[in-house]
Structure 1
Amino acid sequence: MELFNHDPDFKMDVLREVGNIGAGHAATALSRLLDKPVDMAVPTVNFVPFEMIADRVGGSEEVVIAIFLRVDGECPGNMFFLMSKPQASRLLLVLLGFEAAESDKYSEMELSALCEIGNILAGSYLSSLADLTGLSMSPSVPSIAVDMAGAILSYGLLQFGTMGDDALLIDTTFLKGEQEAEGHFFFIPDPQSFERMFVSLGVPIE
């Protein structure tokens, strides 16, 4: 199938397809894991500058739950799944029926569950991106942290080295009846990785 197209919206259309396919894979994987249906809203997909990532979760001093991992292969980069603490508690309730503890501390079981959810999301979005581009991409074992958003991103820079200037943002919402929980999924390709990705998709690079 020929993907070359000079429509300026074509690039975003392709990336929205990554989000849609990835969300479908994630819902299926989580349904199997939990042995019950999991509903996800159609994700919204955007580009954001790296320095704006923390603003999407309330600012650099906002305490968040973060699942992060390194992507190796032909399109290397870094992945973060960030949630505010209220949204993380709501996610545990929506997906697992866990009532959040009144204290600010999460149990090992809750952190493990959040890490696995983030891992499934990362794997699903990464798989859809790899399938569409034909590029090999393999995730590292994920880590989870509870800290200020700015500190987590700074740690990511120290851990993984220089990151690209832009991030692919996929806003992800889980649904259960009238309840919903949302998180922000960021893929930050290394410098040159975005160009490699879009060339593989047949999107002209200006």
Structure 2
Amino acid sequence: MTEMAEQSDTHEPLSQFDADALREVATIGAGHAATALAQLTGTTVRIAVPTIDVVAITEVPRLIGDQEELMAGMYLRLVAEGSGAILLAFRREAALNLIDLMIGRQTSKTHLLSELEQSALREAGNILAGAFLSAISNFLNITLLASVPHLAFDMVGALIQSLLVESDVDRDYALVMYIRFESDCCELGGHFLMVPDGTTMEVFLKAIKELSQCAGGV
């Protein structure tokens, strides 16, 4: 576990098994998301191996970038067996490239965002978040759904603050999944950030423990 996660005084760090299990489902979800995104954009989309950690809330803005950096952020609320919120954050250039690919334009053509461009970006958020949640749900045999995404363009610090308000989180740590997407024509980089409420993390870890016991693990 990283030093940042060890500094949290209200949560035991993830065990290596828990982290590996969550990374596995994140990888599966990211692969599904990349396939769906490739179909929509008409290009090959590749993914890097996701990184996953539990970090203090105060450290989250630094993980994503400079607090004053402008990004496109999409918020989705978790529902069903989990509560909390998800933030998908893209740097401006990556967001514009993603929009161009989604609507069939040559990259670097989008500069202003009409309703069409905003709708394309929200659809990308639906695809990515849906794939992650579907993978977690199937692997852990729980039900996780997401609301319609809310789109905002703001500085990183403001996006994170809005995420915490959306999640109504009552803890001081966040489950952070980071995934990077690349395509043949341009680089697409994004941050996937999940902030669970007071019980969702326990739901995840309990389900992982049950799977481990069924498989004869500890």
TM-score by length of 1: 0.82
Q: Over aligned residue pairs, what C-alpha RMSD do you find?
A: 2.6
Aligned 8 A contact 2:84 2:197 in 1: yes
Judged with a 3 Å threshold, the aligned counterparts in structure 2 of structure 1 residues 136 and 124 are, in CA distance, closer, same or farther, namely same
> Where does residue 10 of structure 2 map in the other structure?
none
- Give 1:21 deviation, angstroms: 0.5
> Counterpart of 2:49 in 1: which secondary structure?
coil
Q: How far apart, CA to CA, are the structure 2 residues paired with 1:94 and 1:171?
A: 22
Between the two proteins, what is the percent identity of the paired residues? 34
> Where does residue 88 of structure 2 map in the other structure?
81
Q: How far apart, CA to CA, are the structure 1 residues paired with 2:36 and 2:15?
A: 33
Deviation by residue 1:103-152 (Cα, 9 ceiling, x = unmatched): 5x433322222221111110000111111221111111111100122222
Q: How far apart, CA to CA, are the structure 2 residues paired with 1:92 and 1:71?
A: 25
> Where does residue 13 of structure 1 map in the other structure?
20
Aligned 8 A contact 2:51 2:178 in 1: yes
- Give 1:47 deviation, angstroms: 2.4
> Counterpart of 2:189 in 1: which secondary structure?
strand
> Where does residue 23 of structure 1 map in the other structure?
30
> Where does residue 52 of structure 1 map in the other structure?
59
The amino acid that maps onto 2:19 is: M
> Counterpart of 1:147 in 2: which secondary structure?
strand
- 2:120 corresponds to 1:120: no
Deviation by residue 1:68-123 (Cα, 9 ceiling, x = unmatched): 110011121210001121232343456654433585x4333222222211111100
Aligned 8 A contact 1:171 1:182 in 2: no
Equivalent of residue 165 in structure 1, options 153, 164, 172: 172
The amino acid that maps onto 1:23 is: A
Q: How far apart, CA to CA, are the structure 2 residues paired with 1:178 and 1:37?
A: 9
TM-score by length of 2: 0.78
The amino acid that maps onto 2:156 is: A
Q: How far apart, CA to CA, are the structure 2 residues paired with 1:194 and 1:182?
A: 26
> Counterpart of 2:68 in 1: which secondary structure?
coil
Q: How far apart, CA to CA, are the structure 2 residues paired with 1:115 and 1:52?
A: 26
> Counterpart of 1:202 in 2: which secondary structure?
helix
- 2:80 corresponds to 1:111: no
- 2:72 corresponds to 1:69: no
Structure number with greater CO (CA < 8 Å, separation at least 6) is 1
Equivalent of residue 153 in structure 2, options 143, 146, 167: 146
What are the ranges of 5 or more consecutive residues in structure 2 without an aligned counterpart? Answer: 1-13, 213-218
